[in-house]
Amino acid sequence: MSTEAKLHIDHVTKTFQARGAGQSLVAVQDVNLEIQDGEFLVIVGPSGCGKSTLLDILSGLTLPSSGEVLIDGKPITGPGPDRGIVFQQYALLPWRTAAENLEFGLEATGVAKTERRERALEHLELVGLADFADSYPHQLSGGMKQRVAIARSLATDPELLIMDEPFGALDALTRDALQTQLRAIWKRTGKTIVFVTHGIDEAVYLGQRVAVMSARPGRIKALVDIPAWDDAEAAEVRADPEFGRSSQVVWEQLRDEIATSQGFSATRPEPGRAGARRVGRTRELEEAGSVA
């Protein structure tokens, strides 16, 4: 194990007790990953492969059943200001303006009031929303809300930025624009980012490495190195033949896993993808609640 890794995921396994049935469910099995300082790592995997569980472990909302996660060499035992999370559904406080939402993160760490405002405005500027400091979330579009959420996570200056399918709820054009912007922000701030997505294009465009997870129980099946793209917009990079080759590699790794996970839902008359995912989420939330 190298000591300079920013984040060290060491033999992490997470098992849930399925309610009623008395059997346990292995969500994440023996995951090992090392993420370097300033790296952009993307995790892709079929639905229900335990990506969200893994992110909950990284964020400290839930503890692994075995194994451990080290950040800067120190084990994660709970949530902390050294990690910021961006959720798919933004999670902005609807009764607070954009700037006040950024301040919400800073209040937790006890930053003085005037400095909170300064840092909030500074980070809204970073995502190009300085003019919307006093707008409420319901006055903003989905893409703008997500930019506020990204700014909020960056404002606390975390060591690690965790992004859980952040662009999943956005339309294709907005997603493209935000991908380009996120890459620019990453280059500018030098943050270490762990980004989860369903989209292979998104993964190959954003990531320096792409970790492919297997169908449940979730393991890291493959790590794909991605060439460094020029500073270009997502649409231009996608036209690069090298991009196509990388996507192909990731796709081939992913294909069998998707088949496996779909085979699951074919044998068991389960609701659709979204329904199954929600069930998983709820259980994880409850589990996380009982830990706290």
Partner 1 sequence: MPETLTTSPAAARSSSEAAAGPGPRRRRLSEFAPRLQTISTKAFVSSIGLIVLAAAWQILPSAHIVDPAFITPLSQVISTWWHMLQDGSLWSNTSTSLLRAAIGFFAAVIVGVPLGLVIGANRRAEDLLSPVLELFRNTAPLALLPVFILILGIGQVTKFVFVGYACLFPILLNTIAAVRTVDPLLVKAARVFGYSQLRIFQKVVLPASVPQIFTGIRLAASYALLVLIAAEYIGANSGLGFLIDNSEQNFQTPMMYAAIITMSLIGVLINFDLLRIERRLSTWRTA
d(CA 125, CA 118): 11
With CB under 8 A as the contact rule, the residue among 52, 179, 181, 208 that binds partner 1 is 181
C-beta of 95: minimal distance to partner 1 in Å? 5
C-beta of 112: minimal distance to partner 1 in Å? 17
Query: Both tokens of residue 149?
Result: 């959420």
Strand order through the sheet with 192-197: 83-86, 160-164, 192-197, 40-44, 209-213, 220-225
Type of residue numbered 24: S
Helix H or strand E encompassing 250: helix 241-267
Provide the H-helix boundaries in 109-233: 113-126, 142-155, 172-189, 200-206
Return the residue matching tokens 């990953």. 33
CB atoms within 10 A of CB 13: 18
Does residue 187 touch partner 1 according to CB under 8 A? no
Type of residue numbered 194: V
C-beta of 68: minimal distance to partner 1 in Å? 19
User: Per-residue x/- marks for partner 1, 99-138, CB under 8 A?
Assistant: -----xx-xxx---------------x--x-xxx--xxxx
Looking at residues 52 to 71 of the shown chain, list those that interact with partner 1 (rule: CB under 8 A). 59-61
C-beta of 179: minimal distance to partner 1 in Å? 11
> For residues 148 and 250, which CB has a smaller minimum distance to partner 1 in the complex?
148
**Strand pairing class (7-17; 24-35):** antiparallel
Which DSSP letter does residue 273 get? H
Does residue 232 touch partner 1 according to CB under 8 A? no
Residue (of 207, 83, 55) closest to 153 by Cα position: 83
Looking at residues 17 to 56 of the shown chain, list those that interact with partner 1 (rule: CB under 8 A). none
Phi, psi of 44 (to 5 degrees): -120, 155
C-beta of 86: minimal distance to partner 1 in Å? 10
C-beta of 284: minimal distance to partner 1 in Å? 10
Type of residue numbered 247: S
Give the 3-state secondary structure of residue 33: strand
Looking at residues 160 to 179 of the shown chain, list those that interact with partner 1 (rule: CB under 8 A). 173-174, 177
C-beta of 90: minimal distance to partner 1 in Å? 8
d(CA 202, CA 195): 10
Number of residues that bind partner 1 (CB under 8 A): 43
With CB under 8 A as the contact rule, the residue among 1, 20, 22, 94 that binds partner 1 is 94
With CB under 8 A as the contact rule, the residue among 16, 40, 51, 87 that binds partner 1 is 87
Where on the chain is the footprint of partner 1 (CB under 8 A)? 59-61, 79-81, 83-85, 87, 89, 91, 93-95, 104-105, 107-109, 125, 128, 130-132, 135-141, 143-144, 156, 173-174, 177, 180-181, 285, 288, 292
